[in-house]
Amino acid sequence: MINSFIKPIFKLNRSITGQGTLDTLKFIKKQFKLLNIKKIKSGTKVFDWKIPKVWKIFDAYILDDQGKKIIDFKISNLHIINYSKKISKWFYFKDIKKNIYFLKRLPSAIPYVTSYYKRNWGFCLSYNDYKKIDHSKKYFFKIDSKFEDGYLNYGEALIKGKSKKEILLSTYVCHPSMANDELSGPAVLTYLANWLSKKKRNFSYRIIFVPETIGSISYISKNYTNIMKNCFGGYNFSCVGDRGNISFIKSKYNNTFIDFVSEYVLKKNKIPFKNHSYMDRGSDERQYCSQGVNLGLNTIMRTKFNDFKEYHTSLDDLNFINEKSLKHSLKVSKLLISYIENSYFPMSKIICEPFMTKRNLYTSINFIKENKDRGILDVLNYCDGNNNIDQIVNYTNINKNKVLSHVNRLKKLKIIK
């Protein structure tokens, strides 16, 4: 995946809008033919937000007083605050402290900084480069950029299954020149989407590649009715290429089908994993599980964003990720999906308890001692259409074979479907 997917598009200048993101989507479409690239016009209102103008950047650098480039956007697009406005001026470094970003704790790293919604400009450099600055001299700061009306692009595909119920699989395409916290998610999701589309599935799958935050908000806003009607949970993919173990950000109440699936499947396959609370959220699960949406999905990662020191710096590069981890993340994703596909959700056709006596399922004499075996009623109570067999086993504490035999009996009696 590193050579076929991540390397070729690593250096594209991605942002929440613009050519780098569009080129990334076009590249994904080449690998996953079902993808449709969609667009939303700048200025469009999406819930409480507005699609911003498109950021175009042509060149950016810092010159010393001999005319030598000491920082060059063409060497790394992380050198510029993403969405920087234009500047063309001589300054002493001490006079523009607020426009210069470096990390003392990681002296060789260029930090990744953005300012999408408030016009600003700035340069990001390694502390090692910063230390070389001669503070008695002026430097020339040039950013050749502009903002214009255009579109926010995102990619979407619907893989239609037997059921209209959809599993939402989402990732983001807005970070420039970083590997784990950017291209690992799209790489794994693209491979997963191709695998999913190889045969007819039980569920339908909605695959989306969006700029983080504004993209997922736009997507939810444009598709709200369908999402609320058909979405049965799903996964957001982030940071799935590093050497750490698999981890999840659970949904807000940690009580959804997907919350159950994540833990059940990893435990069953003896794959080490870690859960993070929704209070530690940071990627698009923020939108998918937000108030008024509550899709109950999980974010799947290896090491959580922000928990590795290379996070949002130039050190999150091709050496930070590895093929084995990417393939393992893909394998785990397939295990999760296969489990979802094979889940069966019995649903009662009757509201309240059915009249068991007429079906010979319950003693007609209501005497304390004789009402011991209500297992079939326990099982039926959990046949809400949202719980699969393993969840019913968990809730009722009845062993799986017994639950299955109750379910079969209830099916024969036409009480559940």
> Of 166 and 181, which CB lies nearer to Zn ion in the complex structure?
181
CB of 332 to Zn ion, least distance (A): 21
CB of 165 to Zn ion, least distance (A): 30
> Of 79 and 406, which CB lies nearer to Zn ion in the complex structure?
79
CB of 239 to Zn ion, least distance (A): 8
Distance CA 31, CA 100 (A): 38
CB of 183 to Zn ion, least distance (A): 12
CA 241 to chain centre: 13
Distance CA 35, CA 38 (A): 9
Element (H, E) at 138: strand 138-148
Alpha helices in 233-283 (DSSP H): 257-268
- What tokens were used for 216? 């997922």
Distance CA 300, CA 282 (A): 12
- What tokens were used for 2? 């590193």
Taking CB atoms, the residue at the shortest distance from Zn ion is: 181
Query: Of 32, 22, 97, which Cα lies nearest the Cα of 54?
Result: 22
> Of 103 and 407, which CB lies nearer to Zn ion in the complex structure?
103
CB of 316 to Zn ion, least distance (A): 9
Residue 234: strand, helix, or coil: strand
> Of 84 and 204, which CB lies nearer to Zn ion in the complex structure?
84
Distance CA 249, CA 305 (A): 11
| Interaction site with Zn ion (CB under 5 A) | 181
Dihedral (C-alpha) 192, 285, 3, 56: value to the nearest 10 degrees? 130
> Of 311 and 339, which CB lies nearer to Zn ion in the complex structure?
311
Distance CA 417, CA 209 (A): 35
CB of 15 to Zn ion, least distance (A): 12
CB of 80 to Zn ion, least distance (A): 16
Distance CA 159, CA 109 (A): 40
**Does residue 242 contact residue 185 with C-beta atoms inside 8 Å?**
no
C-alpha distances out from residue 351 to 205, 355, 384, Å: 31, 11, 10
> Of 96 and 113, which CB lies nearer to Zn ion in the complex structure?
113
CB of 305 to Zn ion, least distance (A): 6
> Of 181 and 284, which CB lies nearer to Zn ion in the complex structure?
181
> Of 181 and 310, which CB lies nearer to Zn ion in the complex structure?
181
> How many of the other CB atoms lie within 10 Å of CB of 52?
18
